[in-house]
């Protein structure tokens, strides 16, 4: 561990499109604050750079104010002013960039899904680096995340290093290889990248079509490349890499998978202010009280306190196994349980399909679908549920299974990616009993899911004492960021040491 102010404490800047709880779409947001806080606790100076979205939760930022500086950054042949805001989120210093550009890139009432997302985030990547450069900060690590800030890596080495801003080493984390950020090659020029230099098969040209690929560029140009679990790191070296497998093979020496942690302050049933009653592994009465409260809130039947409640909190996209989620709803009804789904979809057909299912069960007092994003309600569902399903087709890491366990909800998951690294089947005699913590299935079909659910329901109803011990064990597993942050700390230190040796 590095002590604050000692020479081993690093200066780390995360450049990202999301951060919990101020601007959250999915797990990326949790990682930025969770990893950031854990690194700060280890004695490093951690700063975060985010876009200043009009839709962000400003009430989650303390001391938000505009800095008395204007940072100018290049875009499409012109220089634009950026208003820089600072504030503290979860104890971390954050810089918010508000471009003074006529396209109002971050005043769109949503984080992603705009026709010009590529433009919005190439702009942001350039402005974020400009902010660091103009501030004169001697950063050791610049950590960028996903395609939205992948441009930071080539920009840093091809533009800023030439200006003498080269003390940092670049770490890139890909949280999901499904989203790679591709565009016609010429669009790279918007943020000042050299198209001719980068539009080559060994640099940024996509491996299967003529476009350029942001994630590929970050893999090629970063000093360290990570993804969010060891199993996913293996999967993306073959089909899971969505066309980038060969690039990952070429750069395999700098690539590794580090399992995400969860923010154990935010996700703590013994202090969670969203819950009706706080509880811990030694007091499961409190968990039962939350179940009763949620049933009342959602108008679910409450005659049988021990009727199992299955939870699911997810973005409704193909990756999450939407057909299996649908199946789990019907299977739960068949098995006599209750089901609560909290989810929303950016895909209109999927959203409509689930609205149809919600209507179908409208008068059924055992099934509720809440088709929106609701952070407060998510806490209540983790606390109230007995089981939690994550039947993903692929899952880079997945946080919901870990959060569920911390709240004493036993996960039922498909063995893929980070789910394979965090959930171990209760009935699998080939693994030690002490690590068995949930129910898993392998094939992405209804049969596999049904049999895992049947085993879970059986255990819950027939062996309540065994179930209680399983719940208590799950609640005490350490999913904190501490171990994973140490792994990041280690690779950062090594990269910095190599850089200093060269210098
Ligand atoms: P992904 O990043 O692919 O969406 P993760 O499992 O890594 O999946 O992270 C999901 C995070 O988003 C969790 O913190 C989960 O609680 C939260 N979440 C997902 N959907 C919703 C929703 N509809 N309302 C509230 N929180 C949600």
Are residues 216 and 331 part of one domain? no
Strand pairing class (224-227; 182-183): unpaired
pLDDT value at residue 26: 87
342 touches ligand 1 (CB under 6 Å): yes
For residue 138, being part of any structural domain is answered with yes
- What is the Å distance from ligand 1's center to 43 Cα? 29
54 touches ligand 1 (CB under 6 Å): no
- What is the Å distance from ligand 1's center to 355 Cα? 19
417 touches ligand 1 (CB under 6 Å): no
pLDDT, one tens digit per residue, over 146-155 is: 999 999 999 9
pLDDT value at residue 7: 52
Are residues 206 and 293 part of one domain? no
pLDDT value at residue 502: 82
Are residues 317 and 231 part of one domain? no
398 touches ligand 1 (CB under 6 Å): yes
For residue 203, being part of any structural domain is answered with yes
Q: Which two tokens stand for residue 260?
A: 């995400």
DSSP conformational letter for 429: T
Are residues 100 and 79 part of one domain? yes
Are residues 492 and 461 part of one domain? no
374 touches ligand 1 (CB under 6 Å): yes
Q: Which two tokens stand for residue 178?
A: 């499904």
Which residue positions in the chain have pLDDT lower than 50? 1, 3-6
3-class DSSP assignment, residue 298: coil
Are residues 241 and 301 part of one domain? no
For residue 452, being part of any structural domain is answered with yes
Q: How many domains does the chain have?
A: 2
Q: Which two tokens stand for residue 248?
A: 């990952």
For residue 110, being part of any structural domain is answered with yes
Are residues 145 and 17 part of one domain? yes
Are residues 407 and 303 part of one domain? yes
Q: What is the ipTM of this complex?
A: 0.99
* Domain of residue 141, CATH code: 3.40.50.2000
Distances (CA, A) of 469 to 57, 408, 474: 39, 10, 9
125 touches ligand 1 (CB under 6 Å): no
For residue 271, being part of any structural domain is answered with no
Domain that holds residue 292: 285-475
For residue 333, being part of any structural domain is answered with yes
Q: How many Cβ atoms sit within 10 Å of the Cβ of residue 445?
A: 15
Centroid of chain to Cα 82? 27
pLDDT value at residue 3: 45
Are residues 315 and 200 part of one domain? no
DSSP conformational letter for 156: I
For residue 141, being part of any structural domain is answered with yes
pLDDT, one tens digit per residue, over 389-421 is: 999 999 999 999 999 999 999 999 999 999 999
Of the residues 16, 27, 174, 397, which should be mutated to test ligand 1's pocket, given the most ligand atoms within 8 Å of the CB? Answer: 27
DSSP conformational letter for 210: S
């Amino acid at each position: 561990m590095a002590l604050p102010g000692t020479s081993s404490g690093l200066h780390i800047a995360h450049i990202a499109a999301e951060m919990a709880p101020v601007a959250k779409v999915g797990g990326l947001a949790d990682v930025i604050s969770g990893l950031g806080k854990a690194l700060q606790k280890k004695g490093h100076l951690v700063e975060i750079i985010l876009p200043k979205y009009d839709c962000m939760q400003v009430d989650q930022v303390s001391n938000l104010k505009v800095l008395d500086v204007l940072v100018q950054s290049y875009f499409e042949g012109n220089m634009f002013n950026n208003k820089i805001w600072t504030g503290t989120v979860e104890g971390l210093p954050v810089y918010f960039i508000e471009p003074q550009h006529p396209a109002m890139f971050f005043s769109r009432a949503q984080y992603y899904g705009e026709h010009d997302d590529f433009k919005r985030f190439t702009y942001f990547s350039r402005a974020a680096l400009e902010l660091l450069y103009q501030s004169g900060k001697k950063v050791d690590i610049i950590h960028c995340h996903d395609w939205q800030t992948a441009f930071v890596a080539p920009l840093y080495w091809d533009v800023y290093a030439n200006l003498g801003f080269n003390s940092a080493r670049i770490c890139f984390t890909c949280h999901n290889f499904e989203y790679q950020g591709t565009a016609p090659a010429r669009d790279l020029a918007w943020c000042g990248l050299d198209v001719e230099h980068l539009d080559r098969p060994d640099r940024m040209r996509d491996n299967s079509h003529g476009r350029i690929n942001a994630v590929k560029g970050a893999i090629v140009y970063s000093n360290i490349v990570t993804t969010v679990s060891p199993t996913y790191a293996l999967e993306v070296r073959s089909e899971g890499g969505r066309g980038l497998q060969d690039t990952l093979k070429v750069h395999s020496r700098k690539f590794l998978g580090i399992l995400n942690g969860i923010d154990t302050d935010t996700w703590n049933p013994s202090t969670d202010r969203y819950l009706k009653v706080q509880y811990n592994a030694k007091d499961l009465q409190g968990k039962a009280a939350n179940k009763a409260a949620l049933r009342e809130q959602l108008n679910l039947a409450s005659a049988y306190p021990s009727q199992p409640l299955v939870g699911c909190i997810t973005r409704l996209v193909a990756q999450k196994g939407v057909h299996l989620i649908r199946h789990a709803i019907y299977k739960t009804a068949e098995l006599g349980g209750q089901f609560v789904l909290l989810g929303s979809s950016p895909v209109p057909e999927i959203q409509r399909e689930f609205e149809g299912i919600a209507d179908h069960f409208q008068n059924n007092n055992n099934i509720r679908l809440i088709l929106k994003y609701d952070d407060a309600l998510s806490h209540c569902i983790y606390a109230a549920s007995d089981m939690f399903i994550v039947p993903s087709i692929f899952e880079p890491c997945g946080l919901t299974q870990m959060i569920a366990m911390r709240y004493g909800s036993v996960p039922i998951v498909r063995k893929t990616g980070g789910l394979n690294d965090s959930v171990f089947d209760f009935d699998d005699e080939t693994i030690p009993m002490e690590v068995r913590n949930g129910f898993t299935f392998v094939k992405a079909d209804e049969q596999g899911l049904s049999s895992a659910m049947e085993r879970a329901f059986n255990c819950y109803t027939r062996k309540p004492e065994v179930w209680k011990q399983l719940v208590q064990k799950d609640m005490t597993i350490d999913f904190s960021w501490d171990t994973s942050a140490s792994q990041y700390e280690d690779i950062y230190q090594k990269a910095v040491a190599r850089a200093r040796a060269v210098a």
